[in-house]
Structure formats: C-alpha cells, structure tokens
Amino acid sequence: MTGTDGGSTRTGSARTGGGLLVAGTTSDAGKSVVTAGICRWLARKGVSVAPFKAQNMSLNSFVTPEGAEIGRAQAMQAQAARVEPSALMNPVLLKPGGDRSSQVVVLGRPAGELSARGYFAAGPGTGGAPGANRREALLPVVLDCYERLRARHDAVICEGAGSPAEINLRRHDIVNMGLARAAGLPAVVVGDIDRGGVFASFFGTTALLSRADQALVAGYVVNKFRGDASLLEPGLDMLRGLTGRQVLGVLPYAHGLGIDEEDGLRLSLRGAVRESAAGPPCGEEVLRVAVAAVPLMSNFTDVDALAAEPGVLVRFADRPEELADADLVVLPGTRGTVRALAWLRERGLAEAVARRAAEGRPVLGICGGYQMLGERIEDEVESRAGTVDGLGLLPLRVRFAVEKTLARPSGEALGEPVTGYEIHHGVAGVADSAEPFMTDGRGRALDGCRAGSVWGTHWHGSLESDAFRRAFLRRVARDAGRRFVPAPDTAFGELREEQLDRLGDLIEEHADTGALLRLIEEGAPPDLPFVPPGAP
C-alpha cells in the first residue's frame, strides 16, 4: 500500500489497505494531533486514508454533509486526510451533560441520555440508548463502520481514548485494545514528555495490558519534546531493552498549533488565551475579546477564527471584572443552557453583560449563548427546569425540542456570504419586529437576530467565513470605539491547512515512517515479548 510514488494500490473493490491504532498513555497525550499528522502525511503521499475514533467523549462536535453529528477532532482529522467527514469516522459520541451523565450519539444521531454508571450497567438505557451490554450492543456497530472505511480507503488511522491501561474499563472497551483485538490492529502508544514520567508511562501502560493486548502494542511515540533529542537516546535504548519495543518517533514541541481540541473540560479557565501567531494589528489598536467560560462549554473552537486575526486578543473569563476592558464579549455554546445561565447570574456576569448592552457595547451569543440572551427559555428536555427567564437582551423565546437540530446552513450576514453548522435542541421564536442576523441574501431571516449592539445566532463556525468575520469585526470596532482594522487577507481555511501540513511535517521529519508503513500494511510483528505482570 503506497500512493503515487509507486507500489501497490487498491484495485476494484479489493481491500489492500490496513489500519493502525494510535493509543495514549493518558488523555490529552496528543493522540488527536498524531492521528491527524499521520493522515496528512499519508494523504500527501497519495494514499487514500481516513480517520476513525470508535467512541469519543467531547463537547466539541461537528455536522457532516449528511447531517450527522461527530466529534470535531474527527472532522479535523478528515480534513487532514483530505476526505469528507462522515458518521462512519466516529460511530459513538458521548456529550457530557454534567459530572455523571452524557448524551449518547450513535451514528450521528442522539440515542438517549445515560449516567456513567448506566452506560456500563446491565439493562437498556433511556431513550433507546445502549446500556449494559454496551460492548455487545456497540462493538458490532463500531466494527461495521471500521470495515466500511477499510473497504473505501487504503488505510484507516484509528484514535484511542484515554489510556488502554484503564483496567477497570477493559472488559467494556470498544475504542482501545478492545477495538485493536477485534479488528486485528497494531497499536502505537503516544506519551506527552512535557508532563514528565514518559518512560514510566510507556512501561507501565504496556505492563498493565494482558498478554493478548500486548501482542498488538508495537511501539511508542514521544510527543512535545523540547531540546536535544540525542539526550533521550540512553532512555530509548533502555526502554527497548525492557519492553522489546522501539520508540518510533520523538516529536518536538510545536508552538502555535490551534488545532481543534477534544473538549473544553480541561481548559484552564481563568485568563486562558487561545494561542495565536497572528501578529500585530493592522490599525492603531488591538481588539480584546472575552469569552464567558460557562459550564459545559461546547464548540469553543468558534473563537479560533477571531484569534487568527492580527491584533485580536481572545481570552476566557469567569469574573465580571474580566469583561470590563473587553471590546466584545462572547457567550459561547453549552450543553447546559439553563445551568450556564444560572452560573452567569451567580458570578455576576449576567449583570455585567446587561450593563454592556445598555451602554451599547458589543455582545455576541452563539447557540446556547444566543438562547441565554433571549427573554424566556422553556426546557423540559435538557435540564427539565421548566420555564426560566433569560437575560432579556434579544427579542426571542426558546423552547427545547426532543428532536435535535443538525444542519449545515448558508446565507448572508452584514452583506457578506456566511456558512455554519447547527447542533441544538432549543428552537428560537424570534419577534417579527426583530432585525435578522443571518438571511437568505434577499433580506429574509434564516437565523439569529440583533438588538442594538447585541447579536445572536445558532450557527457555529460562522466566524470562519472570512469576509463576514471582517465585516463583523469592523462593526465591533466601531461600536467599541477602537481604532482597529481587520487584516484584508486573513484566510482562516488556508491557515488551518498550513497547520495540518505542519502536523504532517512532524510525522515525516521526526517519526520512523518506514516502520509506520510496515505496521499499517503488515500488522504488529509476531515476536513482541510479554512484559510482566500483565492483566487478566
């Protein structure tokens, strides 16, 4: 299996490709970006490749062209692979609704709400979601999706979740070694050396796996290394002696990669800043954006396009005084609109936002944030709180529907073309007299509305439309009294492609690509030694 540079390729419907599992020593070890980097490296070689994550837990999601909801990281990996995202790439998505419950999305559609215990316990889940025999119910779905991708592509690069050595969950596993065993996938384990203890993590992860699972773990990848890689060589040699497995790459720490994260749960809230290498402003002043770090924040990647603009500073805020010097306040999406609304009030942020609106200072609400800006919310679905007063800053009332809206709309706003995607249960009833935000180009409202300096829309991703983003920032700068000028040539899509190419470069330049290709084509070597003590 090679691409345009020679070798064998797929012919007809024959399946000649292989697969690889990218596992990790911990959550956030770098599995998502390594998977994306491998996909981009293979795609540049002319190999037909697709990403796959059997089960994902994330509040950042995306809508595929066929109207299915998947993890946003898998959509990013599909872009790295230069293929359209599909529900096949993330058959099971868990969207946390609190510390102990999640919405279960199967093949892109909500299948019910389950507690963490209910997801693993015996018996069916609510709303038709799989409960107990989760492995028995979902593994066939997962394997079918994987095999369908295998039939269409030369290679499928699978991402694990958390760690494969979570021995309390192994018997239910369908995303780490459970998938690898069922599909015969070789696995590489990624470790974040920036956290420290990477050698112990590699050894311990391997030693906690059963003999059959260890037989598929074929090597390791060190992520986020700073300094002279030759200093690692003694440790790499000793690790090979202890485990019989090579380190297949030492990837350097890469600054300024604004690649989509799995979720906002690990985001350090106070003062957190979206990394940007955009540079100084084109005008005389910068533009400061404060994003309310609401509970269960979803699709906070909406503000990445703002951070990509030269002179736009984006930070997350959880105190009212942190909004004081902001030129624009963003209320982002959330999986708990009523809960987030209560949080805004408890912290004094609701009052600060209302004060801004009264002073004519810009506020933007996206999805759940848009809903909070309305007059009233009727929710018997998400929070089951009944009728709750909104912030009263936009002329709309929201009713939560059982059916989730999943769409890929397009239209016009501020005289410029705009596209986005919708993921929400809340249905907004906007007053006829309201000024629309997103229109069909002939003035007819499609979504959202505006009242003075307060704007709202359900459309995630709309700020990635370059001309619209520039028009919106010009309006914000005018209303905020800032001498800020948007750069005329910032192309967010091109910046994203450059970042994905950088990931491909990391793999091509710092990993043993020959060894990776052999694993994808031939599977794990048959003579990998067992590392005691192992697990049942």
Nearest residue to 531 via CA among 273, 203, 89, 191: 203
- Other beta carbons within 10 angstroms of residue 271's beta carbon come to 12
The per-residue DSSP string of 116-149 comes to HHHHHSSS--GGG---SSHHHHHHHHHHHHHHHH
Terminal CA-CA length for the chain? 35
Cα dihedral 320→324→327→330 (10° resolution): 0
CA 381 to chain centroid: 24
* Pairing, β 422-430 against β 410-413: unpaired
Tokens of 354: 């209302």
> What is the C-alpha to C-alpha distance for residues 367 and 386, in angstroms, rounded to an integer?
19
Which residues are CB-neighbours of 301 under 8 A, at least 6 positions away? 60, 72, 260, 261
Assign 529 to helix, strand or coil.
coil
Nearest C-alpha neighbor of 284 from the set 145, 483, 461:
483
SS3 499: helix
**CA proximity to 503, closest of 134, 185, 257:** 257
**Is there a contact between 215 and 524 (Cβ–Cβ < 8 Å)?**
yes
Q: How far is it, in rounded angstroms, from Cα 78 to Cα 287?
A: 33
What's the half-sphere exposure (Cβ side, CA atoms, 13 Å) at 410? 4
CA distance 323 to 354: 11
What would you report as the CA-atom Rg of the chain, rounded to the nearest whole angstrom? 24
Task: Return left, alpha or beta for 112; rule: phi > 0 is left, psi -120 to 50 is alpha, else beta.
Answer: left
User: What is the β-pairing status of strands 328-331 and 363-366?
Assistant: parallel
Q: Which neighbouring-strand residues pair with 289? A: 314, 328
Structure tokens at 510: 């710092």
**Which of 148, 152, 175, 151 lies closest to 164 in space, CA to CA?**
175
CA 271 – CA 259 distance, rounded (Å): 20
Cβ burial, residue 498 (10 Å; 0-12/13-18/19+): exposed
Active site residues: 367, 460
